[in-house]
Structure 1
Protein backbone atom coordinates (compact mmCIF):
# COMPACT_ATOMS: atom_id res chain seq x y z
CA UNK A 1 0.00 0.00 0.00
CA UNK A 2 1.34 3.44 -0.91
CA UNK A 3 2.03 5.99 1.79
CA UNK A 4 -0.54 8.79 1.91
CA UNK A 5 0.46 12.46 1.90
CA UNK A 6 -0.07 12.85 5.64
CA UNK A 7 2.19 9.92 6.41
CA UNK A 8 4.78 11.21 3.98
CA UNK A 9 4.75 14.52 5.90
CA UNK A 10 4.95 12.63 9.21
CA UNK A 11 7.93 10.63 7.93
CA UNK A 12 9.73 13.79 6.79
CA UNK A 13 9.03 15.44 10.15
CA UNK A 14 10.35 12.39 12.00
CA UNK A 15 13.54 12.58 9.95
CA UNK A 16 13.83 16.33 10.65
CA UNK A 17 13.26 15.64 14.35
CA UNK A 18 16.10 13.11 14.25
CA UNK A 19 18.43 15.71 12.71
CA UNK A 20 17.54 18.26 15.42
CA UNK A 21 18.08 15.61 18.07
CA UNK A 22 21.54 14.80 16.72
CA UNK A 23 22.42 18.51 17.01
CA UNK A 24 21.00 18.68 20.53
CA UNK A 25 22.83 15.52 21.55
CA UNK A 26 26.09 17.04 20.36
CA UNK A 27 25.52 20.17 22.45
CA UNK A 28 24.36 18.26 25.50
CA UNK A 29 27.19 15.71 25.32
CA UNK A 30 29.77 18.50 24.97
CA UNK A 31 28.20 20.22 28.00
CA UNK A 32 28.25 16.97 29.96
CA UNK A 33 31.95 16.48 29.23
CA UNK A 34 32.63 20.06 30.30
CA UNK A 35 30.49 20.26 33.43
CA UNK A 36 29.85 16.59 34.33
CA UNK A 37 26.39 17.56 35.53
CA UNK A 38 23.71 14.95 36.10
CA UNK A 39 21.22 17.32 34.44
CA UNK A 40 23.14 17.30 31.18
CA UNK A 41 23.52 13.54 31.41
CA UNK A 42 19.73 13.37 31.80
CA UNK A 43 19.35 15.53 28.69
CA UNK A 44 21.60 13.15 26.75
CA UNK A 45 19.46 10.20 27.87
CA UNK A 46 16.29 12.13 26.96
CA UNK A 47 17.69 12.97 23.51
CA UNK A 48 18.78 9.40 22.86
CA UNK A 49 15.32 8.13 23.79
CA UNK A 50 13.61 10.55 21.41
CA UNK A 51 16.14 9.79 18.68
CA UNK A 52 15.42 6.07 18.92
CA UNK A 53 11.67 6.78 18.96
CA UNK A 54 11.90 8.86 15.78
CA UNK A 55 14.10 6.29 14.04
CA UNK A 56 11.61 3.53 14.90
CA UNK A 57 8.75 5.76 13.67
CA UNK A 58 10.45 6.27 10.30
CA UNK A 59 11.01 2.52 10.03
CA UNK A 60 7.35 1.77 10.77
CA UNK A 61 6.09 4.49 8.44
CA UNK A 62 7.84 2.66 5.61
CA UNK A 63 7.22 -0.92 6.70
CA UNK A 64 3.71 -0.69 8.12
CA UNK A 65 2.14 2.33 6.41
CA UNK A 66 -1.06 0.40 5.85
CA UNK A 67 -1.59 0.17 9.63
CA UNK A 68 -1.72 3.95 9.86
CA UNK A 69 -3.76 4.31 6.69
CA UNK A 70 -6.65 2.17 7.88
CA UNK A 71 -8.26 4.77 10.16
CA UNK A 72 -10.15 7.84 8.97
CA UNK A 73 -7.97 10.73 10.25
CA UNK A 74 -5.08 8.80 11.70
CA UNK A 75 -2.57 10.02 9.12
CA UNK A 76 -3.46 13.62 9.87
CA UNK A 77 -3.20 13.12 13.62
CA UNK A 78 0.18 11.41 13.27
CA UNK A 79 1.45 14.27 11.06
CA UNK A 80 0.20 16.91 13.52
CA UNK A 81 1.86 15.13 16.45
CA UNK A 82 5.16 14.95 14.54
CA UNK A 83 4.82 18.65 13.66
CA UNK A 84 4.29 19.56 17.33
CA UNK A 85 7.36 17.56 18.27
CA UNK A 86 9.32 19.36 15.54
CA UNK A 87 8.26 22.78 16.88
CA UNK A 88 9.26 21.79 20.42
CA UNK A 89 12.63 20.46 19.26
CA UNK A 90 13.24 23.52 17.08
CA UNK A 91 12.74 25.83 20.08
CA UNK A 92 14.92 23.60 22.24
CA UNK A 93 17.63 23.52 19.58
CA UNK A 94 17.53 27.30 19.21
CA UNK A 95 17.93 27.99 22.92
CA UNK A 96 20.55 25.26 23.33
CA UNK A 97 22.71 26.72 20.57
CA UNK A 98 22.53 30.24 22.05
Structure 2
Protein backbone atom coordinates (compact mmCIF):
# COMPACT_ATOMS: atom_id res chain seq x y z
CA UNK A 1 0.00 0.00 0.00
CA UNK A 2 1.42 3.40 -0.95
CA UNK A 3 2.19 5.88 1.77
CA UNK A 4 -0.13 8.91 1.77
CA UNK A 5 1.20 12.36 0.98
CA UNK A 6 0.44 13.68 4.45
CA UNK A 7 2.20 10.77 6.15
CA UNK A 8 5.19 11.25 3.83
CA UNK A 9 5.28 14.91 4.90
CA UNK A 10 4.97 13.89 8.57
CA UNK A 11 7.86 11.45 8.05
CA UNK A 12 9.99 14.22 6.57
CA UNK A 13 9.14 16.48 9.51
CA UNK A 14 10.14 13.71 11.93
CA UNK A 15 13.47 13.50 10.11
CA UNK A 16 14.02 17.24 10.46
CA UNK A 17 13.00 17.04 14.13
CA UNK A 18 15.65 14.34 14.63
CA UNK A 19 18.30 16.65 13.14
CA UNK A 20 17.28 19.51 15.46
CA UNK A 21 17.26 17.18 18.47
CA UNK A 22 20.68 15.77 17.60
CA UNK A 23 22.07 19.31 17.44
CA UNK A 24 20.48 20.12 20.80
CA UNK A 25 21.95 16.95 22.32
CA UNK A 26 25.44 17.91 21.16
CA UNK A 27 25.15 21.40 22.67
CA UNK A 28 23.62 20.19 25.92
CA UNK A 29 26.17 17.38 26.37
CA UNK A 30 28.94 19.95 25.97
CA UNK A 31 27.17 22.29 28.39
CA UNK A 32 26.62 19.51 30.92
CA UNK A 33 30.32 18.62 30.84
CA UNK A 34 31.10 22.26 31.58
CA UNK A 35 28.42 23.22 34.12
CA UNK A 36 27.15 19.92 35.63
CA UNK A 37 23.74 21.38 36.49
CA UNK A 38 20.46 19.54 36.87
CA UNK A 39 18.77 21.95 34.44
CA UNK A 40 21.14 21.07 31.59
CA UNK A 41 20.82 17.37 32.44
CA UNK A 42 17.02 17.77 32.30
CA UNK A 43 17.26 19.47 28.90
CA UNK A 44 19.48 16.66 27.66
CA UNK A 45 17.04 14.03 28.93
CA UNK A 46 14.19 15.88 27.19
CA UNK A 47 16.11 15.91 23.90
CA UNK A 48 17.01 12.21 24.12
CA UNK A 49 13.40 11.18 24.85
CA UNK A 50 12.06 13.35 22.02
CA UNK A 51 14.74 11.99 19.68
CA UNK A 52 13.68 8.43 20.51
CA UNK A 53 10.01 9.34 20.07
CA UNK A 54 10.68 10.78 16.60
CA UNK A 55 12.80 7.77 15.63
CA UNK A 56 10.01 5.39 16.69
CA UNK A 57 7.44 7.52 14.86
CA UNK A 58 9.54 7.35 11.70
CA UNK A 59 9.85 3.59 12.08
CA UNK A 60 6.08 3.19 12.51
CA UNK A 61 5.31 5.49 9.57
CA UNK A 62 7.22 3.12 7.31
CA UNK A 63 6.29 -0.23 8.86
CA UNK A 64 2.61 0.37 9.68
CA UNK A 65 1.50 2.30 6.63
CA UNK A 66 -1.94 0.68 6.62
CA UNK A 67 -2.50 1.89 10.17
CA UNK A 68 -2.22 5.53 9.06
CA UNK A 69 -3.45 5.35 5.50
CA UNK A 70 -7.03 4.33 6.23
CA UNK A 71 -8.31 7.63 7.57
CA UNK A 72 -7.31 10.98 6.05
CA UNK A 73 -8.25 12.72 9.32
CA UNK A 74 -5.66 10.65 11.17
CA UNK A 75 -3.05 11.56 8.56
CA UNK A 76 -3.92 15.23 8.89
CA UNK A 77 -3.74 15.09 12.69
CA UNK A 78 -0.34 13.38 12.59
CA UNK A 79 0.94 16.00 10.14
CA UNK A 80 -0.34 18.89 12.29
CA UNK A 81 1.26 17.42 15.42
CA UNK A 82 4.61 16.88 13.67
CA UNK A 83 4.41 20.45 12.30
CA UNK A 84 3.80 21.91 15.75
CA UNK A 85 6.68 19.89 17.13
CA UNK A 86 8.90 21.17 14.33
CA UNK A 87 8.06 24.80 15.17
CA UNK A 88 8.78 24.19 18.85
CA UNK A 89 12.08 22.41 18.19
CA UNK A 90 13.19 24.95 15.59
CA UNK A 91 12.58 27.74 18.07
CA UNK A 92 14.39 25.90 20.86
CA UNK A 93 17.31 25.08 18.59
CA UNK A 94 17.54 28.68 17.39
CA UNK A 95 17.67 30.17 20.90
CA UNK A 96 20.04 27.46 22.13
CA UNK A 97 22.54 27.97 19.33
CA UNK A 98 22.53 31.75 19.69
TM-score category by the smaller chain? over 0.9
Question: In structure 1, what is the Cα distance between the partners aligned to 2:14 and 2:57?
Answer: 7
What are the equivalent positions in structure 2 for 1:14-93 lying under 5 Å apart? 14-93=14-93
CA shift for structure 1 position 65: 1.1
Aligned residues: 98
1:9 counterpart SS class: helix
Question: In structure 1, what is the Cα distance between the partners aligned to 2:11 and 2:79?
Answer: 8
User: TM-score w.r.t. structure 2 length?
Assistant: 0.97
Deviations 1:21-75 (A, max 9, x none): 0000111111100000011001111100000000000000000011011224111
Aligned-pair Cα RMSD in Å:
0.7
Question: In structure 2, what is the Cα distance between the partners aligned to 1:72 and 1:23?
Answer: 33
Give runs of ≥4 in structure 1 deviating > 4 Å. none
